[in-house]
Structure 1
């Protein structure tokens, strides 16, 4: 199997004659948010280009996350809703909420072509030049320079935001920071926990033998207390597209640097009588699946991503390859290691990589699932009080409707037993997202919008961070940029009433009708946290 093209980052040499790209608006990142931002700005008369870090468009939506984390479907409007209708046309249905990666890519490519949006690939951000709190130009590793009146950072990491000098936070705030309930260190939640007593030690009854791979802390002094803030972020994984179709199935290959001992904890868990590592295996059209993390030990590479948000591109490449080896290695281990019970090996071996997906990268998804990285700190920080309905933003630019959902942040040893820490799953009702949460403070930058790494606490971000919501926020950011451009003003001074009217004209849903939750017919059409994102 050829994985030679599977990279987060490969250096690009300086061009002999670097390009200078001039537009009204430059969007950094061809994620779903970046695509909807560009489309909306183009609809409203701006000239637009997208600078994409990698070689692909569509982010994680076009890279395996086919079991869409839609939340309440009635809360989704605008281009986000159009995306699912376009998928409906692809599958000959009205709307399609689960989809193959290649179907999502088809829709995004169709949109890019239809709206004549230029996308420049392998654009590794190197420098940002600002003047009087305005970004003037951004330059790339290959020498390409982008000049514009406005910029929108739609990357999963917030790299443009950070280089522009905008305030941000990485990690989990304490509950005390914003008077929250579910932020910070979280013990006691039962989700995706080891159900049996599993030893974390190399030799099961001998702490002096050291801990197994994946266990990052053993000292009671470093465990912390409930609600305490820290630097940790929720785990990443790949959303893996699998199939049982023998005409399309590629058996799991042994990955580079494969080490079966990385899965000793998983083997002990299986030997204890628990086999659930592939339980969250959501069916997609045409016999494919979206494999996600489930249970105590699965595809989440817990605690191995802390360096990603602020890391260099080389650091991120190392983490990317480690996650790839870990995820593919787990599948290879379960299908081939003779210590795994034969029934499980037989079950796992029925599955394989989908041969008609990701053909450029060895049939493996090209996008790592960056569930959380940097988060801007602006004049309005979304918190769990917004999610729970205790606060409501008056300048809504779209609704979030998925549960508060943090994956585990670390795996620890407590009194000779292994525990996962950090998973939170709290139901919510749809709530508005503030316009102020996607634009920086005025004394930091006045022509930049940040709809992905928006101003939010860790736990509120766990609800907001869903791809349909990013498409909503991207479109709203594009509209705000267009209004600021038309009126020759800053993004902070865009009149909200005008922005609201534009968003409504383009089909955004800005308020939640509580009667939907009281109507059993409509309620059945909604999914409040039915799956783990």
Structure 2
């Protein structure tokens, strides 16, 4: 009788799941910008998508405080990301007027308030409402039992409706893991990495255990050995110094003053982690302390004062800011070490850490605004700032999502390392990938993996190294196995390689490419690994994506498509195409050899553009 009861319960569960079953061309786990852009680019090609988002809101980090866009060369990444940026700009123009301070502070659309990012994403999706379905409060747990794989293809996944508690089944032709953690890919058995590679594996700058002043060279204690350490997470706060819209920080329930006590000496002496500290003596710090005791601010080189000692401030429209971790100090909004389990943990564990991180952050600001051992003038400065009252009104004005800088990193068709973002020689480009799906540009940039350690010049793993505009190959988002799975966010790469790919503009661009890849896979009935790359690149260019960056030819140029094609084929390895320059004999001969064509050289009478178009037409006609 007891066994019969179990069978009846199992049958009820099966009926509940079957009733909730749905089919879409693309099933996307994660409503962050990478997932959103995948759905939009697929919709443009006629495919239907469902975005299954665990929280109540879509938009990922740009909708949760990351309002200062992380991109070093703005024209490098275009496509749907640039569409997003342009819409942000137009929002501020239409709302406040072209000459308003809001328009000026939005920096051509690259700086924005969280609520504006949410609005723009919703508007972009609404234009394809017949093709895109958004379902929030849907949780996918990274368990092989939550998906069905047949003949090396995912046929169904099971998610939990967090409102009802019911299990729901979603079927699709292609599945996309757009989670910051890589939960779907892991459940599907795709090999992944967590932690840091040692320098001995790929010979990357900054690999393994590294201590360096910010902007300085590697220092004492650096072993460059790999480990399981994960770079720190934080919340990107939306702060304001507008008294009418400011909410001051309150002491959190589990406040622990000792977590922040070391800040006191740092404030009084001016000790910091900037490379300027290399020339600072103990005497200079003592003199700085005496000056502060007299009511002055710190005058020590590299030191920050007031609110900037705890958080990095980038100003946004309407007297708001993107408040990130301060890289020049030992204690800020990052919480290293405690986040290491996050990538592979359950959502139950992650939710507990998210609460812990929130209380830690609230405690930090309460400390700097109230602790009696801090200088009065320091406290006065910090008390000018608080949470923006009109953001996250249902969450105590606090961001709803943890900034997960790095989760699982999968091992795909191409494994991206630092060398893919570094020039092959001084002044030249990084390696050009013929299968490029976007150009991108940001530093090799990792936050700390360990808390403050006695005697160290900075936190372990907190580093940045310059790069040049690079190309991102198709293979970073494609697993070697599982024929209908794409990984546009938890992409394939080393810790250092991933540290530049992990910026939202790049994730948006990879998401756009993933949506098109899925569409081609469905239309041509081929594995995602076997799609026609040239077809993908043509569609991307149709959607204004930049695959290889040139300083003198952008998406608005009539020659853009040709230059993109010829650049990836190796004809234009320099930073400028110089289309209107006369072609010299050396270049002419090199192009003839590369193309297999046989043309006559006429000195000074033909431009580079003339010859390029002839070769372009020849190559395209022979594809």
Fold shared by both chains (TM-score > 0.5): yes
Residue from 455, 465, 471 that aligns with 1:426:
465
Looking at structure 2, the residues matched to 417 and 431 of structure 1 have their Cα atoms a distance apart, in angstroms, of 33
Moved more, 173-182 or 21-30: 173-182
Equivalent pair of 2:449/2:461 in contact (CA under 8 Å): yes
Q: Residues 317-340 of structure 1: CA distance to partner in whole angstroms, max 9, x if unpaired?
A: 121111111111111111112122
1:437 and 2:476 equivalent?
Answer: yes
Q: Does 1:272 align with 2:272?
A: no
Shift of 1:187: 2.2
Residue 246, structure 1, aligned to residue 243, structure 2: yes
Once structures 1 and 2 are overlaid, which stretch shifts more, 386-395 or 457-466? 386-395
1:327 pairs, out of 352, 361, 371, with 361
2:137 is the alignment partner of 1:122: yes
Partner of 2:258: 261
- C-alpha distance after superposition, 1:128-180 (max 9, x if no partner): 21112111111013301110010111110010111011111001111222332
Preserved CA contact (<8 Å) 2:549 2:575: no
Contact 1:53 1:125 in 2 (8 A): yes
| Residue in 1 that maps onto 2:528 | 491
Q: Structure 1 residue 392: deviation in Å?
A: 3.1
Q: Secondary structure at the match of 1:80?
A: helix
- Contact 2:421–2:467 at 8 Å: present in 1 too? yes
2:433 to 377, 384, 393: 393
Residues 448-467 of structure 1: pairs in structure 2 closer than 5 A: 448-467=485-504
Deviation at 1:42, TM superposition (A): 1.1
Partner of 1:376: 410
Change (3 A) 1:192 1:164: farther
CA distance in 1, matches of 2:206, 2:541: 33
Greater shift in the superposed pair: 348-357 or 169-178: 169-178
Structure 2 unaligned blocks of 5 or more: 1-12, 161-165, 272-304, 425-430, 554-573, 577-623
More helix by share: 2
- Alignment match, 2:384: 350
RMSD: 2.2
Please say if residues 447 and 461 of structure 2, whose CA atoms lie closer than 8 Å, have aligned partners that are also in contact. Answer: yes
Shift of 1:279: 5.5
Comparing both structures, which one devotes a greater share of its residues to strand? 1
Counterpart for residue 61 of structure 2: 60
Matches of 1:288 and 1:30, distance apart in 2: 25
**Cα distance in 1, alignment partners of residues 338 and 78 from structure 2:** 36
Q: Deviations over 1:73-96 (max 9, x none)?
A: 111211100000000111015931
**1:220-235 to 2 correspondence within 5 Å?**
226-235=223-232
Q: CA deviation at 1:418?
A: 7.1
Give the aligned partner of residue 32 of structure 2. 31
> 1:45 deviation in Å?
1.1
Answering whether residue 337 of structure 2 is matched by residue 285 of structure 1, we say no
* Change in 2 beyond 3 A, CA 1:189/1:456: farther
2:445 is matched with which residue?
A: 405
Query: Of the candidates 137, 140, 143, which is equivalent to residue 156 of structure 2?
Result: 137
Distance 2:21 2:435 in 1: 36
8 A Cα contact 1:168 1:376, kept in partner? yes
Deviates most, 31-40 or 386-395? 386-395
Deviation at 1:182, TM superposition (A): 2.6
| Offset at residue 413 of structure 1 (A) | 3.1
Q: Which residue number corresponds to residue 113 of structure 2?
A: 100
CA distance in 2, matches of 1:268, 1:314: 37
The alpha-carbon deviation at position 515 of structure 1 amounts to 5.8
List aligned pairs for 1:474-513, cutoff 5 A. 474-513=511-550
Tell me if the contact between 1:411 and 1:418 (Cα under 8 Å) persists in the aligned partners: no
- Partner Cα distance (1:509, 1:256) in 2: 49
Give 1:268 deviation, angstroms.
Answer: 2.4
Q: TM-score, normalised by structure 2?
A: 0.73
Work out the CA distance in 2 between the residues paired with 1:260 and 1:140.
40
Over 3 Å counting, the alpha-carbon distance change for 1:412 and 1:258 in structure 2 is closer
Structure 1 position 254, deviation (Å): 1.8
Deviations 1:298-349 (A, max 9, x none): 1111222101000111111121111111111111111112122111111111
Partners of 1:170 and 1:462 lie apart in 2 by 13
The DSSP-based 3-state class of the residue aligned with 1:130 is strand
Which one is further off, 469-478 or 68-77? 68-77
TM-score, length-scaled by structure 1 = 0.85
The 2-side partners of 1:160 and 1:54 are apart by 16
Which stretch shows the higher mean deviation, 246-255 or 396-405? 246-255
1:177 aligns with 2:201: yes
Question: In the alignment, which residue of structure 2 is the partner of 1:112?
Answer: 125
Q: Is the 8 A contact 1:411 1:419 kept in 2?
A: no
Larger radius of gyration: 2
Counterparts of 1:368 and 1:24 in 2: how far apart (Å)? 30
Aligned-pair CA distance for 1:185: 1.4
Instruction: Judge conservation of contact 2:434–2:473 (CA < 8 Å) in 1.
Output: yes
**Number of the residue aligned with 2:3:** none
Q: Count matched residues.
A: 475
1:74 aligned counterpart, secondary structure? coil
**Residue aligning to 1:527:** none
The within-5 A match list for 1:11-26 is 17-18=16-17, 19-26=20-27
- Write out aligned runs for 1:68-83 (5 A): 68-83=69-84
Change (3 A) 1:122 1:499: same
Q: Which has the higher contact order (CA 8 A, sep 6+)?
A: 1
Which residues in structure 2 correspond to 1:307-318 (within 5 Å)?
307-318=341-352
Deviation at 1:273, TM superposition (A): 2.8
Instruction: Determine whether 1:161 maps to 2:174.
Output: no
Secondary structure at 1:69 match in 2? coil
**8 Å CA contact 2:212, 2:463 repeated in 1:** no
Provide the rounded CA distance (Å) in 1 between the counterparts of 2:396 and 2:385: 16
Separation in 1, partners of 2:235, 2:215: 20
1:226 deviates by 2.6
Separation of aligned partners in 1, 2:488 and 2:518: 12
